[in-house]
Structure 1
């Protein structure tokens, strides 16, 4: 496929802005959460991501995280956010990894490859047991997680009744 993960960088500004605008135009929830960050001041957005990775200026109760863009040659087709630790909230319904594929590029196998590549980065962080979650209704994500070795754990039911499927992937 020619897919690879890269750190967010100025050289991919136009490609990322296209990704962001497509997602905004779709009116879908923007996942992972970091793509909700307004990129109009692109340099500030990049610095925000660097700071998050270093644990600088993160809100109380949050954890440091790393963000990567999934590239198909020079096109941003997906984004992944890796949480370095788990809080109680993340243990219940957030997990270590949040990812999303741009709307026009779904159902092409990108999510499975994105998660596979991400697991390599997670292991480099020293995390050997990874929690990945998705909503019960997200059949594509369920399949992606299982295809990457996800072993089901106890579901978490949110206050609104949404069922979060929880999976562990052992990287040891």
Structure 2
């Protein structure tokens, strides 16, 4: 498994993963309407670069690094890493968000994806990581807890959705 910057060579795999979300009503991860794929392809790599550098961010969005998880040429999942948040923002956005394509659920990919992401965030000298998931997302709860996540509380987001907030402490001296 490898975490890479998004690349055009995986666009078709990414599209198929998004299609799986729509077909299986996975509302947590539907990055674009399927019929907007060609428009998305034209702009997404530049948008990801902008999100990383803080240029032209959508209103209220923090600087975000996006990585894709691939294995043997297959798109497995996606992460967003937000290393420049203060504690209040971290508890709202989470330092990390992730998704695994539907056809790869319940195969250990989420646990590995988050584990690799926690290693990556250490490069920003962050040792208190906040991560949230939907209150009823049992799979994500297990993934977060397997990676050392401790439940803090349940919060309501701007859309009225209940999310569980978790805290993970990373020992930076053990790198």
Which TM-score applies when normalising by structure 2? 0.83
> Equivalent residue for 1:20?
18
> 1 CA distance for matches of 2:42 and 2:124?
25
Structure 1 position 108 matched with structure 2 position 103: no
> Equivalent residue for 2:7?
9
1:43–1:127 distance in 2 versus 1, CA, 3 Å: farther
The SS at the match of 1:40 is helix
How many residue pairs get matched? 167
Structure 1 position 36 matched with structure 2 position 35: no
Deviation by residue 1:68-99 (Cα, 9 ceiling, x = unmatched): 1111211101111112233646523x311111
CA deviation after TM superposition for structure 1 residue 165, in Å: 1.5
Deviation by residue 1:48-87 (Cα, 9 ceiling, x = unmatched): 1111011110034321001111112111011111122336
> 2 CA distance for matches of 1:74 and 1:161?
38
> 1 CA distance for matches of 2:49 and 2:122?
19
> Would you say the 8 A contact 2:5–2:68 is kept in 1?
yes
Unaligned runs of at least 5 residues, structure 2:
none
The SS at the match of 1:21 is helix
CA deviation after TM superposition for structure 1 residue 162, in Å: 4.5
> 2 CA distance for matches of 1:11 and 1:160?
34
> Would you say the 8 A contact 1:10–1:43 is kept in 2?
no
Deviation by residue 1:87-124 (Cα, 9 ceiling, x = unmatched): 646523x3111111111110111100010011111111
> Would you say the 8 A contact 1:64–1:85 is kept in 2?
yes
The SS at the match of 1:155 is strand
> Would you say the 8 A contact 1:80–1:99 is kept in 2?
yes
Deviation by residue 1:136-165 (Cα, 9 ceiling, x = unmatched): 211111110010011221332457775422
Which TM-score applies when normalising by structure 1? 0.84
> 1 CA distance for matches of 2:5 and 2:79?
10
> Equivalent residue for 2:126?
127
> Would you say the 8 A contact 1:63–1:84 is kept in 2?
no
